[in-house]
Amino acid sequence: LPGETVPNDCNTCTCVAGTWSCTELQCVARCEALGDPHYITFDRKYYDFMGKCSYYLLQHSNYTVAAENVPCDGSISENMGFSIFALPTMPSCTKSVTITVGDVVIKLKQGKEVTVNGKDEPLPILLKQAYIREASSIFVQVELFDGVEVWWDGITRVYIDVPPELKGKT
């Protein structure tokens, strides 16, 4: 229908005289690790991977973001007594997310607990390298100095958003 608008990623397309005319904004890119874990890369490729180790979700010349995967054991919790020697067929879950910026190590743990260089810290936390806050009742957000955002639900979900200027450079 003429004048109809539809969303297209971060842009809007409008039907004008039978032709779609779309805005051309540069959109953020997102990578995701969800559940047991399912991965979606910045270029929107989907993977299911049951590895039980730490894996980089993002590598940049100034920082890294890694997820620590452990065997799922019903409910993910520091108190569950996870063993890295569990059966190889058990699904894995993301236990924590580690963001390393220079000599600063930010660890996002179960229950939305946060450590900076190994020390438990209450939120919000303002560092030279990042701002860490409880963004909602669900997510802790870490915003790095260049606009990269890491979202952690304190259980098994992590999202990383990179601004358009970093697309293809992570």
Q: Which domain holds residue 127?
A: 28-166
Evaluate whether residue 5 is within a structural domain. no
Q: Which residue has the higher pLDDT, 170 or 58?
A: 58
Question: H/E element holding 68?
Answer: strand 63-71
What pLDDT sits at residue 76?
53
Evaluate whether residue 1 is within a structural domain. no
User: What is the rounded average pLDDT of the residues 64-70?
Assistant: 94
Evaluate whether residue 73 is within a structural domain. yes
What pLDDT sits at residue 78?
43
pLDDT of 1 over the 90 cut: no
Evaluate whether residue 59 is within a structural domain. yes
For residue 137, what pLDDT band results from cuts at 50, 70 and 90? Answer: very high
Inter-residue contact 67 to 37 (CB < 8 Å): yes
Evaluate whether residue 92 is within a structural domain. yes
> What is the tally of structural domains in the chain?
1
Please state, in angstroms and rounded to a whole number, the distance separating the CA atoms of residues 26 and 44: 16
Q: Could you read off the pLDDT of 114-126 as tens digits, one per residue?
A: 999 999 999 999 9
Report residue 85: phi and psi, to 5°.
Answer: -100, 15
Strands (E) across 102-165 are located at: 104-108, 114-116, 119-120, 125-126, 130-134, 140-144, 149-152, 158-162
What percentage of residues in the chain have a pLDDT greater than 90? 59
* Residue 39, domain CATH: 3.40.1000.10
pTM of the model: 0.81
For residue 77, what pLDDT band results from cuts at 50, 70 and 90? Answer: very low
Evaluate whether residue 14 is within a structural domain. no
Residue 117 class from Cβ within 10 Å (0-12 exposed, 13-18 middle, 19+ buried)?
exposed
Highest mean pLDDT of the ranges 49-53, 99-103, 163-167: 99-103
Evaluate whether residue 7 is within a structural domain. no
